[in-house]
Structure 1
Amino acid sequence: MPANILLVEDELAIQELIAASLSRAGHRVVRASDAEEAAQRLRDALPDLVLLDWMLPGMTGIEFARRLRGDERTREIPIIMLTARGEEQDKVAGLESGADDYITKPFSPRELAARITAVLRRRAPQTTEDAVEAGDLRLDPVTHRVGCGDRPVALGPTEFRLLHFFMTHPERVHSRAQLLDKVWGDHVFVEDRTVDVHVRRLRAALEPSGHDQLIQTVRGSGYRFSLRIERGSVQ
């Protein structure tokens, strides 16, 4: 599934090559040449993943990665560090700064694509094309189909994205604000109660098969998707 990727690389020739490769793979690329420009891009919208060069003018990639991990708004964004430094101590420093993976230059487009897929599958599974299952409930993002056993479930596009996010992040409590950011998108200005409306629609679609019980209301906190049914959790 195409991902929104922020590429932070100061060498324009390398930036162009990487951006072209990612675009051919179907990803949407936003570019920045230093940490300051990257921070502006992040204020505009949150990407699914950051490709971050170690050696940047001004603030280094290591420092910027720590800054992202220290900010509640950006701390969950997957980061892959790009660098020509291949020593073990450098890799350790990159990972300890908060990077999810570390790739040494020069690298092939295929290797980069594989690393991106692996990190997204681990950190942002809702951005991949993998089908997900919970009991006999199955969602396929490629065909955009949901089914309970042999019975298809008709969902609108927002309910589909909401269910996809829930199923790829089970057993966690998500606030309305978090769901708005992850499902509707960062910088989309709608009221928190919009989430409640779409949760009700999603539950109504799942009710005939009994799977509405999987979407639980956690009073004062938000919603949780769980195979463990808790009495009084669904409203």
Structure 2
Amino acid sequence: MLLEENIVIFVKNELKRFQRVLSPEHPECLGRQSEDEEVVDGEEEEQRRSSREAFLKITLHFLRRLKQEELADSLQSKTFPDVCQRKHKSNLKQKFQYLFEGIAKAGNPTLLNQIYTELHITEGESGEVNDEHEVRQIEAASRKPVRPETTIKCEDIFKPLPGRDKPTRTLMTKGVAGIGKTVLTQKFTLDWAEDKANHNIQFTFPFTFRELNLLKRKRFNPS
């Protein structure tokens, strides 16, 4: 009886969520957590998401059995990005939670969040990539800037800068070798995957030039 009661409560709550998402007044995805929803730890949250995905499949199955194809398609289209995002974040967390460069040794990975040190990120002028010798870059970096520097946090690099209305759309990091550009990208990706920052970003796809160089003679559709 207790099992039945818990299942019935779960089903009713999920159907209410589906109804809310399908309502014209609430054109939102299921990924957003409601204010009255209980906060749980990572493992229990993963179990909750797995149960919800399973019930979503059951709901879509019964909607189609009831010949409610339009309603099923609408529900699927509004929930599909959220399901993909959760799986994508899970994969990114597994891939980027460890640091495999620098001090890390083969077979002995280091947790990025334990070793990461905040970088001093400043706004720079736009321009071409600097191909000068590394020593000259170090000398240039040591000079005092002509105008005051604008310090930017890792989680704010795509947010509007002070005095600007529009967010940053394109960003290029510059710095001498070993200064932490690759690790900064890894930290940015991990924070997003762990829901710590940049909640307005729907998807993040990190690529390295090493990986892109292997895609020669292949054409891809940017859409």
Asked if these proteins are the same fold (TM beyond 0.5), I'd say no
Name the one with the larger strand percent: 1
**TM-score in terms of structure 1 length:** 0.26
**TM-score in terms of structure 2 length:** 0.27
Name the one with the larger helix percent: 2
Q: Using CA pairs under 8 Å that are at least 6 residues apart, name the structure with larger relative contact order, 1 or 2.
A: 2
